[in-house]
Amino acid sequence: MIRALILGGTADASLLAAAIARAGIDAVYSYGGRTRAPADQPLPTRIGGFGGASGLADTIRREGFTHVIDATHPFAAEMSRNAVEACTQTGTPLIALERAPWEKTQGDNWIGVSDVDAAVAALPESPANVFLAIGRQHIAPFAAKPQHAYTLRFVDPPVAPLPFAADVIVSRGPFTLDGELEMIRARKIAWIVARNSGGDGARAKIDAARTLGLPVIMIARPELPERPRVESVAEIMQWLDHSTRLGA
């Protein structure tokens, strides 16, 4: 019998939870606890860290999980590394549900960088209006370039003071091209800093930047250990179905 653990926190993870619930498969959905009011899931839900790879391995053993699906955000590297290690330790099948990164197309003006510090360095020295389309836990290094006027966008209003003065938009998305064009024009944004998340929910700002000819400092995804990876919920369902047939 299958008992699956979904490491969630993304729109794809919610779609997967719905499909798993519809199929009547025993599963638990896990949130990292970053957003204050996470979306309800049609599965039993737990919230918060496991305590590293060993904590996750303990949870897998204690709660009898037979399969782990890593449907976290492509930049949730710590969780994904812990999942590989815990599943290796416990001999539990693991698969990742991860959308493909965005590819640069004609008209894109991307400056590719490997991490947040490199993104700070890639910003100009002269003052500019900058939209930081990255999570709140990654903004602190931009305090090193205080000459810019930053716009930030978060799912929840900030509770702690920000590391620098900024204009904050609170919105959960998904965002439309028209909405992003309006926001960028209204704030006279000249630079966008984004992570290469992939998928449709977050891509409108990239399309808007192309439309307006704006530079995007694009942070590449972190390197992760090798693991089976698919891009669709249907492939995860096939994987689970295949395991059932094999009696795994």
Ligand X SMILES: NC(=O)c1ccc[n+]([C@@H]2O[C@H](COP(=O)([O-])OP(=O)(O)OC[C@H]3O[C@@H](n4cnc5c(N)ncnc54)[C@H](OP(=O)(O)O)[C@@H]3O)[C@@H](O)[C@H]2O)c1
Q: Please give the residue ranges that form the binding site for ligand X (CB under 6 A).
A: 7-10, 30-32, 34, 49-52, 55-56, 72-73, 75-79, 82, 135
Please identify which residue in the block is written with the tokens 């490199």. Answer: 118
What's the token pair of residue 247?
Answer: 């009696």
Min dist. Cβ of residue 126 to ligand X (A): 31
Min dist. Cβ of residue 28 to ligand X (A): 10
Rg (CA), the chain: 19
Min dist. Cβ of residue 166 to ligand X (A): 19
The nearer residue to ligand X, 56 or 123, going by C-beta atoms, is 56
Query: What is the distance between the alpha carbons of residues 127 and 16, in angstroms, rounded to a whole number?
Result: 43
Do residues 177 and 201 touch, judged by C-beta distance below 8 A? no
Q: Which candidate, 201, 189, 191, 195, places its Cα nearest to that of 218? A: 195
The nearer residue to ligand X, 72 or 151, going by C-beta atoms, is 72
The nearer residue to ligand X, 30 or 151, going by C-beta atoms, is 30
Query: What is the distance between the alpha carbons of residues 209 and 205, in angstroms, rounded to a whole number?
Result: 6
The nearer residue to ligand X, 49 or 64, going by C-beta atoms, is 49
In the complex, residue closest to ligand X by CB:
49
The nearer residue to ligand X, 38 or 163, going by C-beta atoms, is 38
Min dist. Cβ of residue 30 to ligand X (A): 4
The nearer residue to ligand X, 154 or 164, going by C-beta atoms, is 154
Query: What is the distance between the alpha carbons of residues 96 and 83, in angstroms, rounded to a whole number?
Result: 10
Min dist. Cβ of residue 214 to ligand X (A): 21
Maximal CA-CA distance, the chain: 62
Min dist. Cβ of residue 212 to ligand X (A): 23
Query: What is the distance between the alpha carbons of residues 147 and 157, in angstroms, rounded to a whole number?
Result: 24
Q: Which candidate, 87, 70, 88, 92, places its Cα nearest to that of 79? A: 70
Q: What does the buried/exposed string (b/e) look like for 184-202 if buried means 16 or more CB atoms within 10 Å of the residue's CB?
A: beeeebbbbbbbbbbbeeb
